[in-house]
Structure 1
Amino acid sequence: MSDRFTITLPVAEYAPAHFRLAVDGKVATVTLDRPERKNPLTFESYAELRDLFHALRHEEAVKAVVVTGAGGNFCSGGDVFEIIQPLLERDMAGLLDFTRMTGDLVKAMRACPQPIVAAVDGVCAGAGAIVAMASDLRIGTQDAKVAFLFNRVGLAGCDMGACAILPRIVGQGRASELLYTGRAMTGEEAERWGFFNRLAAPDAVLDEARALAGDLADGPTFANAMTKRMLHMEWDMGVDQAIEAEALAQSVCMQTEDYRRAFDAFAAKRRPAFEGN
């Protein structure tokens, strides 16, 4: 389970064994594809997703990523019989090996430079809610049901970074409620609380996520990657330290060709065509 898969670069040529992957131009779409079970994760799909996002750190052609689920649901979390039941037979070392591996998926999602847009419909529970949480942006539907239901199976809410990341999205009090009770947020509630950036119709949510990812992929992608990195790094900084870090980051971005392209376009009264360098 802990062994790394070999991810072929370029990513467009990689054929995953445990989910679908499609690359259209500069946007990669990852589709969790076990619709008959509401797209649960297995040991193997956790690891392969981790390795894909790790590989994306070195992928230059893909500039944005969409994550979604097949058949009207996002992801129902860890498969009861393929993950939860086998874990009952593991010793402490084996359990820690698993929990560190699942956490490595979130680390890989946060470390890859591409913005990740989650398109969420239907069930989005457990580890599925974590995958949506670990994305940079989330478009949901009225029918979405987002639940961090770890306490429902006798576990703590502190799973895969939830206690660190979720309060920064919805606030400490709301995150506490969700993690203590395991109850589901409705789509409207998730938007109102800031978990979803916006809502879309179920038949349009994937298209809207891809359109948003496409806009990001056509933007100044070096600068977008810097924004993502600084959003992550500044969690552990004081204000003065963050201001200095941003001064350094912005001075780097000011040396890019995209910065000059933006000025030239403004001077010529036309829209800039960014190239990500």
Structure 2
Amino acid sequence: MRFRGSVPFHENWEHFDFSLDDRVATITLNRPEKLNALTFESYADLRELFKELPLRGDVDAIVITGEGRGFCSGGDVDEIIGELLKFNPKQLLEFTRMTGAVIQNMRECSIPIVAAINGTVAGAGAVIALASDFRLVVPHAKFRFLFTSVGLSGGDMGSAYLLPRLVGLGRATEILMFGEPVTADQAVNIGLANRVVEPDELMAEATALGRRIADGPRLAYAATKLLLS
């Protein structure tokens, strides 16, 4: 591409796994012992990844999933919450902007994103799922928007904008205020997920959807995503 700078693209990321197979990129959050909880560093890497992917020229579809029995349990309580309590207001604002930038970059990314939700999806992980364009869920998956339970605004990371557009204002208000779990079947019924997939078929289905996107009218898909966003 003639219009990009000389800084090379990343093929390896420290805080999650990244692979590319014939224009379909797969991002795997890989901290299974913590249900793929996010750290300061993984937030920052995801922010940069979704900013970089549209510039590469060799990625036409993205699949994001988690290793082990969960998709993403949100921010790592042990590594983040204690540190945030020590932050001054400026540092807190910088952190909030960083987490928001992950979601903003996902929505501004012209490449469609498929979330293969393999289990627990909570907090920031649930918002990452919201920011994806397609959500495939296993039968035992549950969405949990837990922000108010830890004293945060229920609309954290853009969820107050994204969720009502999927499920309507009334349902979104109840979900974001009270944080009650939304099961896989409920998620499909209210428009939060596209369909339920058996665990042993999840990645095959997600990859097949990614392949359909990559082999389809990519400019039309990108324009459609832009208008929907």
User: Does TM-score exceed 0.5, indicating one fold?
Assistant: yes
Residue in structure 2 matching 1:129, options 126, 130, 139: 126
In the aligned structure 2, how far is the partner of 1:15 from the partner of 1:151? 35
Amino acid at match of 2:30: D
- C-alpha contact (below 8 Å) 1:49/1:105 kept by paired residues: yes
Task: Tell me the equivalent position of 1:143.
Answer: 140
**Aligned position for 1:23:** 20
What letter matches 2:57 in structure 1? E
Alignment counterpart, residue 106 of structure 1, candidates 96, 103, 106: 103
Partner of 1:90: 87
Cα distance in 1 for partners of 2:206, 2:149 equals 30
How far apart are the structure 1 equivalents of 2:90 and 2:80? 16
Q: Partner of 2:72: helix, strand, or coil?
A: coil
SS at match of 1:108: helix
- What is the DSSP-based 3-state SS (H/G/I as helix, E as strand, rest coil) of the residue aligned with 1:16? coil
Pick from 24, 45, 48 the counterpart of residue 51 of structure 1: 48
CA RMSD, 1 decimal = 1.2
Q: Secondary structure at the match of 1:204?
A: helix
AA in 1 matched with 2:165: R
- 1:244 alignment partner in structure 2: none
Question: SS of 1:229's equivalent?
Answer: helix
| Structure 1 position 184, deviation (Å) | 1.1
SS class of match (2:135): strand
Residue in 2 that maps onto 1:81:
78
Question: Per the alignment, in what secondary structure is the counterpart of residue 226 of structure 2?
Answer: helix
How far residue 223 of structure 1 moved from its aligned partner, in angstroms, is 1.0
Q: Distance in 2 between matches of 1:184 and 1:88?
A: 27
Contact 1:106–1:134 (CA<8 Å) still a contact in 2? yes
Letter in 1 for 2:75: G
Give the corresponding residue for 2:34: 37
Counterpart of 1:173 (choices 166, 170, 174) is: 170
Kindly tell me the number of residue pairs found equivalent between the two proteins: 224
Question: What's the TM-score once normalised by structure 1's chain length?
Answer: 0.79
Counterpart AA for 1:200? V
Do residues 223 (structure 1) and 220 (structure 2) align? yes
1:66 aligns to 2:58 (yes or no): no
* Matching of residue 118 in structure 1 with residue 106 in structure 2: no
Q: Which has the larger radius of gyration?
A: 1
Q: Distance in 1 between matches of 2:39 and 2:98?
A: 12
Distance 1:57 1:39 in 2: 25
Other structure's SS at 1:68 match: strand
* Kept after mapping to 2: 8 A contact 1:19/1:32: yes
Q: CA deviation at 1:72?
A: 2.0
TM-score of the two chains, using structure 2 as the length reference: 0.95
The aligned residue for residue 155 of structure 1 is: 152
Deviations 1:73-92 (A, max 9, x none): 10000000111111011111
Q: Which has the higher contact order (CA 8 A, sep 6+)?
A: 2
Percent sequence identity over aligned pairs: 50
**Structure 2 residues not aligned, in runs of 5+:** 1-5
CA distance in 2 between counterparts of 1:174 and 1:230 reads 24
User: Partners in 2 of 1:190 and 1:52 — Cα distance?
Assistant: 28
Q: What is the distance in 2 between the residues matched to 1:137 and 1:211?
A: 12
Tell me the distance in 1 between the aligned counterparts of 2:7 and 2:46: 10
In 2, the alpha carbon distance for the partners of 1:41 and 1:69 equals: 11
SS at match of 2:125: helix
Deviation for aligned residue 1:152: 1.0
For 1:207, give the aligned amino acid.
A
Aligned residue number for residue 183 of structure 2: 186
Aligned-pair CA distance for 1:30: 0.2
